[in-house]
Amino acid sequence: MTEPETPVRSDDPPAADDHVDAGAAEARIMADRRAKLDALRADGIDPFPARYERSATVAAVAEAHASLEPGAETDSHYRLMGRLMGRRGHGKAMFCDLVDHTGQLQLMVTLDGLGEDSYGRFRDLDLGDWIGVEGVAICSRRGELSLRAQGWELLGKAIRPLPEKFHGLTDVETRLRRRYLDLAVNEETRERFLARSRLVSGIRRVLEEQDFVEVETPMLQPLYGGAAARPFVTHHNELDADLYLRIAPELYLKRLVVGGLDRVYEIGRNFRNEGISYKHNPEFSSLEAYAAGMGYRQVMELTEQLVHAAVVAAVGTAQVERDGATIDFTPPWRRMTLREAIIEHAGIDAFELGDDELASWLRDQGSDPDDHPWRAQRIDHLLDRFVEPKLVDPVFIHDYPVELSPFAKAAPGSDGRIVERFEAFAAGMELANAFSEINDPDEQRQRFLQQRQLAEAGDELTEQLDEDYLRALEYGMPPCGGLGIGIDRLAMLATGASSIREVILFPARR
């Protein structure tokens, strides 16, 4: 039997360039499909059954029969479940496309194979309907692996028509607001989110191999902390108390290290009441991990391992293409101090310039130093504007001003001005942030008080003094390295997405 060339898609909605009223056309299609629903129910057929047991996925069938020769048949029987997404042929035989979350498989559906009644009902299906199909694996004469149908069930009637396959769902706003449609018709979207899932699994494997314990900490917190960010605030009626959606789980995870869980991690959502951009979403996913005995140099090595494993798990290679460049996440990565990075990419030694000289230089570059009134903020601005966009290959930038890092240990020999902190960058984006964590409660209290002074002077993004966290440190915390990795940004890099919205299933929209 030979597959026909021309698809039959009489129930497709009109393409964008058709001179018809798309709304009226869709209403006509929906009315026709509802009539089919009524007919099915009148015949005693439930168009929305409660269950169906499949025996395999499309990918499993494809893997099991990858070497099948054209025209070959097997006695391997399968029960599959998916959407009907294409149909070709007429008369006594059809070839159809069944799509599940793992891929697409051709169905060979014949009058002889199903019988007259079953075949007639199958012909009356609409594209987008969910079906269960059972049959045997074969390879068509054209060499395409297929399932020769021996029986089928309707599992979920699609009342609305899906977007027309050959034009696809391309409108960005529709894709983001109706992600279910995007996933249903765009294979690239499905693969991107499957890759993201594999990426997270890769991270978990590395951490579990190194004896980290996965935990959960509060998302509703009486005090927010662990990052320089504005929180979302809500109110608990029974407690009559304001609570904050967490901006980071850091302080709770370090409490667990105090309690003796000396290697802990959490993968979860954080919430920051800030702007939206191609690399920012108000809620986002991160990994935070803390390991007793590690300093920030050892955490650099852990970061390399985690990111490398995540990217390989997601896309099968450590090398990804982005904006015409090949980015290789294979360890080891380059390491440079923040001072060295600013000298190399901005052309000035900001750590040696006086405050007035630094302000003058920023004005010459078109930046208003009054937007960044504190010296440490100006250095951070140099990193954001002049360094970060130029960092294509993975790199660690380390040793930051103390004002920017209230939880990081002071670097030896720096008179407390520089701390043991690094950030990891690639493709012009920050991927990770890490410290040698302060475990001296008195030093931590002084850092909190310094943050309070900055807040009183007008800095809105400062840490709140957390007395319970200080109390926990007073019970004793061992040397500890802490790490945060942005899952969404890492997924962007691994999958080639140009915006964070493309790797978050339901991103924030206006």
Q: What pLDDT sits at residue 184?
A: 92
- Both tokens of residue 400? 């930051």
How many CB atoms sit inside 10 A of residue 286's CB?
22
Q: What pLDDT sits at residue 454?
A: 77
Buried b / exposed e along 417-444 (16+ C-beta atoms within 10 A): ebbbbbbbbbbebbbbbbbbbbbebeeb
Q: What pLDDT sits at residue 9?
A: 41
Distance in angstroms (rounded) separating the CA atoms of residues 287 and 406? 20
Q: What pLDDT sits at residue 171?
A: 81
**pLDDT tens by residue, 325-355:** 999 999 999 999 999 999 999 999 999 988 8
Length of the chain: 510
- Both tokens of residue 214? 């996965």
Cβ pair 217, 253 in contact under 8 A = yes
- Both tokens of residue 483? 């790490």
Cβ pair 441, 337 in contact under 8 A = no
Q: What pLDDT sits at residue 5?
A: 40
**pLDDT tens by residue, 284-297:** 999 999 999 999 99
Cβ pair 274, 493 in contact under 8 A = no
Run of H or E residues at 399 = strand 395-401
Which of the residues in the chain have pLDDT under 70? 1-20, 165-168
Q: What pLDDT sits at residue 4?
A: 46
